[in-house]
Structure formats: C-alpha cells, structure tokens
Structure 1
C-alpha cells in the first residue's frame, strides 16, 4: 500500500510534468497565433473586379472567374473560414470543427479540434506560410503528438495551399499573378506565384467548379500523387462564389482514390 508521502511525491511529479507540457504547448500556441497574425495583415485591394480583364483567358478559366466573382467586387486578398467536417484516420471518420485563414500569395493556417470518443480530442494546426509548412498537434491541448517540418512538409503543404485557394477566387486572377492554360472547354490549368505545381480546375457550363486537382507530394510516402477535391455545393458571400461542401482525397481521378477529408463551411468572411 502506498503511504501518504509517496502519493504526495507522485502527485507533485505529475504536476511538474503537466506544468512543463503546458509551457511547451503555450509557446507553440503563441507561435501559431503569430503566424496567423502575419496572414491577417493582408487586406482587400483598392481595385474591383473588371470582367474585361479576363477576356483573353482560356474559355473554362474565363467562365469560372465570371461565375465566381461578380463585377465590381473588391479584390479580396484573404478569407476567414469556419467549418465542420470529418477526417479519416486509419479506418475511422472522426468529427472536427476548424477555423482557417487563407491569404493570396502568402499561405494558410488551418486550426482544427478533432474528437475521437470518450471525451478525448486533439487540436493544433496545419500551415503553409511564405514557403514554410508545418504541423503542430497535441492531445487534450497538452501532450504533443505531431510536430512536423522540413523540405518535404514545405512542398506538401504548398500543394494543399494551391488546392484550397479555390476558397479565394480572387487569387486566381491574372492581377494576382495567376497564369492560366486551357485544357479543353470544361478544364483549365492555373499556376500561382511561388507554387511549383499547377492546379487543374473543372467547371460546368455555367462556370461553377466541379473539382480541383493537382499533383501533391505525399509526406508519408515521399511520392508525388494525384490529389484533389470534389465540390458538392457552393455559396455566394459578398459577391464571391466559393465551394461550401467538398470531399478531398489522394489518388483523385484514379481507381486508387482515397477520400480522407469532408467539410462544410459555416461562415466565410473576405478581407
């Protein structure tokens, strides 16, 4: 049987470990907030959308941008999102809530809280900002479980940023440095500044996005793999029409398709 002294020492030791972990996580949270604040310096430009500025683009690109951006809409440089969804880990789909900041030509930071039963959860962030990517996640906001960075993560997170830029259609304008190439009547390929890969956008006859796809570096295998999203629903906010429900997966467009992310937007604010 444990005596009172042993119990007291054990409790003090546990409190010390918890305190140390808390300090580590507090520092990590501060760094994430600093990164988010860096993106939030991006503000709407003085210019507004002029449909004549895209008249020379490939048909699918022109149709998409005319559908996604109403004439006279201010050229937003940032979007703030909140979302609900499911994330597949192993064979389980786990519910999450998240917020995200995405800025044209800069990057994104996605901050989810994922629940996996018995009152347990993990939270943190996945980000790509000014060429640097990373992942920081902790169990119960205390115990670090994922901390990833380096050249592989930088390139992989750039692929995610490229695909998620569909939430900020102004970032696909030539005025923002985007370069388009036609791939048929319903498809066009776009390259964004400082992102190595291209994004193929598929639209319907009205210009609504049906899917986006790219080649993205898989951080687990080190291989370039097809990666993309199917757009199931859209929403118009302040003159900008964006996906509001989507499914994302590796092996997109192939027999090896593996969906791992489903989300629906709650709120979207442009800046």
Structure 2
C-alpha cells in the first residue's frame, strides 16, 4: 500500500477518535448536569440549622467525644458539599490492577444524596467515566468507556440503594454535621472506642459500625453486608473504610485521605485509595 495512503488512513483514524472523545466527554457532562439537577431538586431544609452540643447528651461516649473534637458548638450545619479527589482505583475483582483516577463529587445532606463523577485511566487515551450516586432514594451506577460505550448501567432501590446510602453515611466524615442526631442519625453504644450509626431515608435504612482512634477521630467504618457487583450480580459482602490525615476545613476537622475495601471470605480486597484535593462547603444561614 502506498505510504501516503497509510498516512491518510492514520490521520482519518486519529480524527475519528478525537471526534468520538470530544463527543463522549460532552455527552457525559450533560448526564452529570442532569444528575446534579436531580440531586438539587430532592434537597430539603436541614432539620436544625446550628450545632447544639446539648443534643449530644445520652449519645455513646466515643460519639460525644468525636463531635466535640471535630465541631464547634453553635456552628452552622452543612447544606451542601463540592469536593475533588485524586488517587488510584483497583480494576480487578480478585487481584491488583491499579489505575489512576480523578473525580468530583457533590453532596446534599438534606435529603441525603450525592453524585460522584469519576474519570479512570483504564488504557492510554481511553478513559472510563463513572457515575456513582444516591439521588432521591435511588442508587445509581453508570460506567462507560469514552463516555459512549456503557459497561454498567444500574439504577433502582433495594440492595443498590442501600449500598449507596451506606457510602453516603460512611463518607459523612467529610461533612460531619450530617452525623448529628438532629440530622437523622441514630447512635447505639458498642464499647468505648466504637458505636453503630443508623440512617433511614424513605424505605431504606442502613447501619454502619464506626471506630474511633486515640484522638477521638473516626478511624474506620464497617458494614456487615454491602452490595458488591460481581459478574453483573449484587452480592452482599463485608465492607471497610479507613480514614486518616485529618485537617481543618470549613471550621471542621475532616480526613483528607482514605481507602475502602471489600472483605470477602478469601481476604481483604482494597479497591479505592484517594486524597481530597479540594473541598468547599455551603452552610445553613
């Protein structure tokens, strides 16, 4: 084949790829805007607009110490969050195939909900775009290649919604006023370094075990059975989140680093390690 024809075909392929990449990115942005609009539409006023340490009376001791460590009495509660992450995501269900990711996330504590928009570099020049969300009582998982080819597209209630509400509750370490009893979380004592927190939204109720370190900060969060996608099926699996590197943001102490793992019978499988690169809060007036 003539060299000039090969060059022409290569240029044509590059042009088609560039057009597809641009179209996919714009289409994905439109999906993200739609999810954010749904999240905003589901928002309700906070149950209580200020932190009141009198509400801590009767809570388990480690929970009281945690709130007194990360919050200030009288400060406004969080009404919205916008955050940005970077880190690595394990693409393997049973091994280690780590790929870099960047993401942005929006959270509305009233009504509980979030939208996570992630970009994972699965292959050179071929990003996977992922929406993981809990909006209006529904769980959402949508993953594509280039923003065009769907590899997962799930939305609904039941186990999917419960798993996403668990994520919201576990990640409330980043917006800790949402863990207050005045905002809907019910706490039960376990021991001097742990307590269980329960959150109900509509017909979905979830409970997680929180453990606290020697500084009275949340160290780990555990679920006995969170829905894990295995071969297209949701399988209840033990789950763990770890947090560290606490710093002050928005007048609260929040962790800037974390990781999450599945705990199947065959052993711990860490699949997300991330760092908060930016976090902005909207507070109640």
Normalising to structure 1: TM-score of the pair? Answer: 0.84
**1:146-176 Cα shifts (integer Å, max 9, x gaps):** 2222444333322222222222211111111
Whether 1:265 aligns to 2:276 is yes
CA distance in 2, matches of 1:135, 1:110: 10
Counterparts of residues 92-103 of structure 1 (less than 5 Å): 92-103=97-108
CA distance in 2, matches of 1:164, 1:111: 15
Whether 1:202 aligns to 2:204 is no
Whether 1:187 aligns to 2:194 is yes
Pick the aligned partner of 1:226 from 227, 238, 256.
238
CA distance in 2, matches of 1:39, 1:150: 15
Structure 2 SS opposite 1:192: strand
Query: What residue in structure 1 maps to residue 247 of structure 2?
Result: 235
CA distance in 2, matches of 1:137, 1:101: 18
Query: What residue in structure 2 maps to residue 32 of structure 1?
Result: 32
How much is the aligned-residue C-alpha RMSD, in angstroms? 3.1
Residue 58 (structure 1) shift: 0.8
Residue 269 (structure 1) shift: 1.0
| Aligned 8 A contact 1:43 1:77 in 2 | no
Structure 2 SS opposite 1:165: helix
Aligned residues: 263
Whether 1:216 aligns to 2:218 is no
Structure 2 SS opposite 1:49: coil
| Aligned 8 A contact 1:43 1:76 in 2 | no
CA distance in 2, matches of 1:148, 1:242: 31
Residue 203 (structure 1) shift: 0.7
Counterparts of residues 151-170 of structure 1 (less than 5 Å): 151=157, 152-170=159-177
Residue 40 (structure 1) shift: 4.2
| Aligned 8 A contact 2:32 2:117 in 1 | no
CA distance in 1, matches of 2:104, 2:28: 17
Q: Which runs of 5+ in 1 are unaligned?
A: none
CA distance in 2, matches of 1:235, 1:269: 14
Higher strand share: 2
Residue 52 (structure 1) shift: 1.9
Structure 1 SS opposite 2:206: coil
Residue 118 (structure 1) shift: 2.3
Residue 100 (structure 1) shift: 0.5
Whether 1:140 aligns to 2:146 is yes
**1:44-78 Cα shifts (integer Å, max 9, x gaps):** 85732122221221101111111121222211122
| Aligned 8 A contact 1:163 1:228 in 2 | no
Structure 2 SS opposite 1:246: strand
Residue 112 (structure 1) shift: 0.8
Residue 22 (structure 1) shift: 8.2
